[in-house]
Amino acid sequence: MTKPSIGLTGLGVMGSNLALNIADNGFDLAVHNRTNADVDRFLEKSGDLRARLTGHYEIEDFIAGIATPRTIIMMVKAGSVVDAVIAALTPHLEKGDLLIDAGNSDFNDTVRRTKTLEDQGFGFLGIGVSGGEVGARFGPSTMAGGSAEKYALVEDMLNAIAAKHEGEPCAAWLGPDGAGHFVKTMHNGIEYGDMQMIAETYGVMRNGLGMEPKAIGKVFERWNEGALGSYLIEITAQILQTEDPQTGADIIDVIVDRAGQKGTGRWSAIESQKLGVPASAIEAAVTARALSAGKDQRETMERLYGTPDTVISSASMEAIITQLENALLAGKIIAYAQGFSVIRAASEENGWNTPLARVAEIWRAGCIIRSVMLNDIASAFANNPALESLLLAPAFADKMKATHADLRTIVALTAQHALPLPALSAALSYFDYARQGQSTANILQAQRDFFGAHGFERTDEEGSDHHGPWAMG
């Protein structure tokens, strides 16, 4: 076998599946993993694809086994591990070689690494990959950032391994340096919002309406046929109808209610705050995960304040389920609107020119947040690339007009029954504030001027440094 020109290091869940996907699409590939036993395990399980793969235990040998100019994909744990792997690889590389970080890296790190590596004469792309292990194996959505010239070198391979939406690969170059990892971060922020809102509607049906998991699963199955159709609704329907093989109980009831998180959701909230673009529904979802993690304290608080009566008995179950469907749709639209507005702002701030319609298009298959709604989002940005908020697009304005009253009813009803809806209620507050021509921020301006002489604008005069008649002290 002649030397392959592509290598992949990091044969964990994502890396091993991505390697098989690459080989399956006709590319020879050198593979490496820090823990050598995993190289052997991987090769043993590669079946018919074994002939396309060469395994290596040492970095030096791995790099020597790749033809120049090399393309080396790193699929390792995000953070300092990526820097450590880069430091281990670069002494053996040659100028013109290309490194790809395909993990969930913080885009700030990607900007830094791009500059450092390009200054050393290497190429560097930061590519967000979504789809979990099945996506990695059979077709992920890939969001690339870095030099367009370097992207062109790997575009065919990325298109080949990507998920296809009506034949079109869900892979795109989205701008220089950190653009790809930023979009992946916001993808995950939206994912957090979507997941949390689904969990909240589950909570209303379970704890408010007293429905059993399998029945709720059926409701999600039905919703999946309509405007909410998405991978996350589909898997939630399946999860709720799955029994635990060990006990025979509904599996959802044996899973501890403490959610993990690896960073991307939190970064999406941090970056939105840094840019001054509110993403309150996403932020609320991150907050909800943090609250979930503090289970011991939640239990202490429940003992202190008592267990509320969450049962809703005042209205018909079917009517509430319909309102919930609309509430979830409205909340989801708001979370997506916020996420896309943050991407737009980051693109402007960093000069990335990230095409928002293309972002929506490549999320339509392969990735975790794939959903039918993304068709309309792609059209909204294609029709008006300057669209400032999805909530201003005629198609989404129509959807919001048809659903926000139900979101309001559900938030009000659940507040009365102590059923927490952090993400859905944050979405509603955002919507109500965002469409309020006259807000209450004049009070804030008066307070700021009162205590700090910060000045305010007047409604009846030009200038921003007017002051109130309050004396100092």
Ligand X SMILES: O=C(CO)[C@H](O)[C@H](O)COP(=O)(O)O
Distance CA 339, CA 201 (A): 21
Helices of type H across 351-440: 356-362, 373-383, 394-416, 422-434
Distance CA 449, CA 445 (A): 6
Residue (58 or 302) nearer to ligand NDP, CB: 58
Q: How far is the CB of 368 from ligand X (least distance, A)?
A: 4
112 binds, among ligand X, ligand NDP, none (CB under 5 to 8 A by kind): none
3-class state of residue 456 by DSSP: strand
188 binds, among ligand X, ligand NDP, none (CB under 5 to 8 A by kind): ligand X
Residue (191 or 250) nearer to ligand X, CB: 191
Site for ligand X in 191-230 (CB under 6 A): 191
81 binds ligand NDP (CB under 6 A): yes
Stretch that binds ligand X, among 256-264, 325-333, 373-381, 433-441 (CB under 6 A): 256-264
| Strand intervals (E) in 57-155 | 71-74, 98-101, 123-130, 141-146
Among 19, 29, 75, 369, indicate the residue that binds ligand NDP (CB under 6 A): 75
Among 4, 8, 28, 33, indicate the residue that binds ligand NDP (CB under 6 A): 33
Stretch that binds ligand X, among 72-80, 83-91, 257-265, 304-312 (CB under 6 A): 257-265
Among 6, 8, 11, 174, indicate the residue that binds ligand NDP (CB under 6 A): 11
| Strand intervals (E) in 113-240 | 123-130, 141-146, 164-165, 168-169, 171-173
Beta carbons of 452 and 472 less than 8 angstroms apart: no
Among 21, 104, 280, 287, indicate the residue that binds ligand X (CB under 6 A): 104
From residue 393, how far is each of 278, 342, 400 by CA, in Å? 18, 16, 10
35 binds ligand NDP (CB under 6 A): yes
Among 51, 60, 64, 84, indicate the residue that binds ligand NDP (CB under 6 A): 84
Distance CA 96, CA 85 (A): 18
Residues classed as catalytic: 184, 191
Distance CA 403, CA 397 (A): 10
Distance CA 82, CA 108 (A): 13
Q: How far is the CB of 71 from ligand NDP (least distance, A)?
A: 18
Q: How far is the CB of 186 from ligand X (least distance, A)?
A: 11
30 binds ligand NDP (CB under 6 A): no
Stretch that binds ligand NDP, among 30-38, 216-224, 300-308, 408-416 (CB under 6 A): 30-38
Stretch that binds ligand NDP, among 13-21, 251-259, 282-290, 394-402 (CB under 6 A): 13-21
Q: Which of 114, 123, 121 is nearest to 151 (CA)?
A: 123
Q: How far is the CB of 98 from ligand NDP (least distance, A)?
A: 19
Beta carbons of 297 and 407 less than 8 angstroms apart: no
Among 16, 71, 105, 130, indicate the residue that binds ligand X (CB under 6 A): 130
Residue (76 or 111) nearer to ligand NDP, CB: 76
Beta carbons of 29 and 52 less than 8 angstroms apart: yes
218 binds, among ligand NDP, ligand X, none (CB under 5 to 8 A by kind): none
Give the per-residue contact string, 351-380, with ligand X (x = CB under 6 A; - = no): -----------------x------------
Per DSSP, 259 falls in state -
Distance CA 112, CA 90 (A): 16
Q: How far is the CB of 190 from ligand NDP (least distance, A)?
A: 14
Vertex 177: Cα angle to 16 and 69 (nearest 5): 60
Site for ligand NDP in 262-321 (CB under 6 A): 262
Which residue type occupies 441?
A
What's the burial of 143, exposed, middle or buried (CB within 10 Å: 0-12/13-18/19+)?
A: buried
Q: How far is the CB of 351 from ligand X (least distance, A)?
A: 26
Q: How far is the CB of 128 from ligand NDP (least distance, A)?
A: 7
Residues whose CB falls within 8 Å of the CB of residue 87, separated by 6 or more in sequence, listed in order: none
Stretch that binds ligand X, among 46-54, 261-269, 305-313, 374-382 (CB under 6 A): 261-269
Per DSSP, 25 falls in state T
Supply 56's token pair: 């290596």
From residue 404, how far is each of 326, 334, 429 by CA, in Å? 8, 10, 11
Q: Which residue is nearest to ligand NDP (CB)?
A: 12
Vertex 294: Cα angle to 292 and 300 (nearest 5): 115
Stretch that binds ligand X, among 25-33, 218-226, 240-248, 258-266 (CB under 6 A): 258-266
262 binds ligand X (CB under 6 A): yes
Distance CA 369, CA 372 (A): 10
Site for ligand NDP in 223-262 (CB under 6 A): 262
Distance CA 268, CA 194 (A): 14
What is the binding site for ligand X (CB under 6 A)? 104, 130, 132, 188, 191, 260-262, 264-265, 368
By CB under 6 A, name the binding residues for ligand NDP.
Answer: 10-15, 33-35, 38, 75-78, 81, 84-85, 103-104, 129-130, 132, 262
